[in-house]
Amino acid sequence: MGDYNHSMRNQFERSNLYGGQSFIIGGVDSQDSHLSNVPYADGAAFNSRLQDHESQCLPDTRVDLLQQIVTWSNDPSGACIFWLNGAAGTGKSTIARTVARTWANQKQLGASFFFSKGGGDLGHATKFFTSLAAQLVYTLPSIRTHISRAIEENPDIFQRGLGEQWKYLIFQPLSNLKEISLQSSVLVFVIDALDECEGQDDTRLMLRLLAEAKNVIAIRLRIFITSRPETPIRFGFRTMPASAHQDFILHNISLPIIEHDISIFLKCELQKVQEENCLTEEWPGANVIKLLCQRARGLFIYASTACRFIKDPLWDSDESLSLILKDAYVGQSPTRDLDEMYTRILIHTMILGDRHKRNLGRLNDEFGRIVGSIVILFDILPLTALAKLLDMPVKTVGVRLRCLHSVLDIPENQEFPVRLLHPSFRDFLLDQERCLDPQFFVHEEKAHEHLFVCCLKVMSKHLHRDMCNLRRSGARINEVKDDEIKNCLPHDVQYACLYWVNHLQRSSVELCDNDRVHIFLSAHFLHWLEALSLIGKISDGVLIVKALESTLLCNPESANSDLRMMMYDAKRFVLLNRSIMEAVPLQIYSSALVFSPGMNRIRCRFWGQAAQWIKNKPAVQKDWDPALQSLEGHSKGVSAVAFSPDGQRLASASLDRTVRLWNPSTGGSCGALEGHSDVVTAVAFSPDGLLLASASLDRTVRLWDPSTGASRGTLEGHSDYVYAVAFSPDGQLLASASFDRTVRLWDPSTGASRGTLEGHSDYVKAVAFSPDSQRLASASFDRTVRLWDPLTGASRGTLEGHSDYVYAVAFSQDGQLLASASGDRTVRLWDPSTGGSRGTLRGHSDYVRAVAFSPDGQLLASASSDRTVRLWDPSTRASRGTLEGHSSPAYAVAFSPDSQLLASASGDRTVRLWDPSTGASRGTLEGHSGYVRAVAFSPDGQRLASASDDRTVRLWDPSTGASRGTLEGHSGYVYAVEFSPDGQLLASASFDRTVRLWDPSTGASRGTLEGHSDYVYAVAFSQDGQLLASASGDRTVRLWDPSTGASRGTLEAHSGYITAVAFSPDGQLLASAFDDRTVKPLTYRESGSQSTTSLCLLNVNGHWLRLGTENILWLPPDYRAQCQSVRHNTVAIGHTSGRVTFIELDLDIIPHVGESFRIQLPTEGLTKMQHQIYDEHRLALSDDR
């Protein structure tokens, strides 16, 4: 839990002894603030508070094994990993603590992490590598600078995937150590109970990453791991080279050796009992020790539990010993004696412990509610939080637990967590074949149902809007102090928010309309998202919502239920808004609600909670479009996308020279792969998902390990740009296509060249293998598709028909069809066996850049420079829909392996995820068919004018969004519009080199002003309306009389394109901006005396609508500004899609934002504003030139 399991910034002090010196995790000095925010899993270290009462190996026990481990760590040629595996209760953790202490005393311990199922951050991998890094800062001071620099250069590293965290926080800092004294040093990581880490994929990934320890040169890094021999872990070790790990199976040690060690342990522990209770020196006797050893059956957990029970001061030691030594249980189970001991302890403590025996029914009920909950919790909780969650008095819970110290760790401080002493106790209570007494058997489904109901009650009681009293809609989560979050969202509430659906899924509860879940979500869905945002768990929320929807989908009776439809809308809502909800909690009630489709149930149910300061909400589409979410992170256009074979990762290639990995389920970034020195043009996963190939304009192909981000080699040989890569389905070959007019084949396992295919007479743009790996198709700018035998390199035919460059090819899943995409705006289908044409798909209005078949063969997707993705039925060639949303050309498309997702890459720097099954049309506002370049309000605010690349000016009613006419006449892009001060004229500037005047009330033309010899970029009226200025690419500003159209002069003061022009309010100055990044005042005097202007600084800056410098409303990708205009409290935003959005605000009621942002600006302040105008025009200009 984000709040309870403290990070370093909580300043939670914890002593940790390394060679007699203590350090404090969290007590970071002020010299390095980056390290103060490293997330740390409380209790991870071997000597943390949670490990205080855990034992270590006694002298003369585990002698041979401990010596073998020490020898391994000091062997320069030894394996980098030692895996100690054994069954439950065989003493793995005790050995881990012992060797950790030994290495700490020798100053060889780098860090330790003791996993614990149900232990919050100790039960999963989220804070695994960050916790190791936090400890390394103190155990290896010389690494401090390297880790700090990594955080500074990668500020989002704590939100990235495990591979990125290992690379930047552990591997690279260790590799960068330069001290000569370290060359022969040993550094050991101790990782205990890896089997208790949730998530099999995470477990396998951690093992793959840790195996890279062998590649650390500066220091000899060793990894000591303990676990049960679970299948995922065994599989993880099998995929490593045998030389990378040394294994030891603990339960294979001969029984006499184990009994010898258990005997020493029993003698030591029982001697303490004898001394504390003044018993005779002979107590308990050799025969008793021998019998206990036999009962233990090689399980140290039996011996340790027996000793804890005998030592419990609540009971008589002899009586407890006699209870354990009662007649042996008859049975064949290897845990029979352990099970019998657990049963006897429970009977003695919970039943016989109640001397009056009058409330056995209530005692049994309370045992089930309290202990039954503890053993199935997904996170450890303090006793007080547990009591609140169960809605029971703290005193009652404390009394019922005080007799169970032999099986539970129950701290005296009730603010510390209660936890199991050993997982075998959980296994016993939940297994009816082991726990034979029905009084204690915990029915897992019923226990989960009970906790599910408790979670709903806690959330319903505590959740509400703005729980931390942030007030400001733009307040970021990193501005909120941890203590404030903890006070507003205590441990029990955080637990409920995170795990209520986990308990629901493991119960027998059937969901239906108007049940507990439906009622809760209808009242608190947004409040729940806010709580998850505050505790940094929005990505978890995405998975929780998806899990809830999956639960409903599994129930046929819920097909038409309101709850099921609500959960579909909830999933779309969180996917669309994940990034902003993660960073700015209160945007849930403003941006997320306001911009969500008008008919979705989340908007309809919670519309009353939408920000009231947004008076006139923007027009939005009616229903969800096929785009599930936009993935933002690249700093330039995205050129290609590819899903991993298991659908768990999405890779994107970009003009920013990087490859990014994403989690398509949540939209979260999993890291960036850097190494190419030029644009990355293509990416492809190997069939087994273990390799990722990327192609680049740097003329190379790079291979990567997608799980770790490590480079696996660079393939060199092409003499020009490499534009495409593809693995053969059998994984034996990798093909690359290049502008050197060849296709090259490579062995991906070795990087060796396997041949060069020559034959095209122009650039080769794409390659694709047939499903059986027997054919390779290549597409070329020579307007042909060629087929090859990849094994021999022989040509198998040339497919001709396209009238322009061929950009892409793709085989259908069954190999019966080949699709090709061309600059002739068509997709062609071919029979690859005969080369015959199977049809032409027409519909795109610009180059078709990419094609992809869905894995189920039902759809074909094509991406085009017309900014759309089209879906087709490949069998009938019928159109199945057009996906609109990108604001720049779409360069690539890829289906997920299950055909449920479609990813598209665009020059607008985003990757969009779509639901290809719906193909629902977008509910867009009617308007322009090209970029909207400028918008302007009339002086009275009754009209808005917009200028567009579609060569028109449109007039709108800003109060309703209704169109009020289209002004046609320009023969080129219209780049600017401006109303005269009296609102009687409208001027428009165009790339057709003219300025046109219009009557905005009738739409009639009032004249054309000709004289410029290049594009006209801007127009401006003087304050009295007597002059009109126009700025042009011909390096002049022209002055006109707007009433007659007569020229009043030409100002030549620039040496480059003039992109903006404005009169000062007093009419004394005319300023112009141009492309050499300067703004120059031009002297021109007009009558007027106004010296200041009152401005309300409502503005659009990047992704935000701002008031002054305060972010108030986040703009989703589809609503970002190509241009903007503000009048009073209304902003009009023009979009590249051709739409115009109006937003009217009530500035007086925006929390914490009001009159302080209404300021008086002197006229000289306008020069700075002109710089801003220049920057906006410069940005737009760069898109066109």
pLDDT tens-place string over residues 1090-1141: 333 333 467 888 889 888 788 999 998 888 887 777 777 888 888 777 777 8
CB distance 905 to 864 below 8 Å = no
Residue 1158 bridge partners (DSSP)? 1096
Q: How far apart are CA 568 and CA 597, in angstroms?
A: 13
Identify the pLDDT of residue 644.
92
Q: What is the value of pTM for the model shown?
A: 0.66
Query: Could you report the per-residue pLDDT of 130-147, keeping only the tens digit for each?
Result: 999 999 988 888 888 899
Across all residues in the chain, what is the average pLDDT?
82
**278-322: per-residue pLDDT in tens?**
888 888 888 888 888 888 877 888 888 888 888 887 778 887 788
Which tokens go with 129?
């590598």
Most confident of 41-45, 487-491, 561-565: 487-491
Identify which of 327, 355, 352, 351 has the alpha carbon closest to the alpha carbon of residue 341: 327
Number of neighbours of residue 180 by Cβ within 10 angstroms: 7
What 8-state DSSP symbol labels residue 804? S
The span from the CA of 216 to the CA of 743, in Å, is 36
Instruction: At 392, list the tokens.
Output: 């029971």
Q: Is pLDDT larger for residue 570 or for residue 297?
A: 570
Position 1155 pLDDT exceeds 70: no
Please tell me the least confidently modeled range out of 68-77, 279-288, 745-754, 892-901.
892-901
Res. 183 pLDDT band, cuts 50 70 90: very low
Confidence of residue 525 (pLDDT cuts 50, 70, 90): very high
Alpha carbon separation from 122 to 126, 408, 553, 1035 (Å, rounded): 9, 17, 32, 66
The Cβ of residue 120 has, within 10 Å, a number of other Cβ atoms equal to 27
| Cα–Cα distance measured from residue 204 to residue 707, given in angstroms and rounded to the nearest whole number | 10
C-alpha–C-alpha distance, residues 273 and 288, integer Å = 14
pLDDT of residue 1164: 36
CA 1128 to chain centre: 39
* pLDDT score for 811: 77
Determine the pLDDT at residue 327.
66
Looking at the chain, how many residues does it have? Answer: 1185
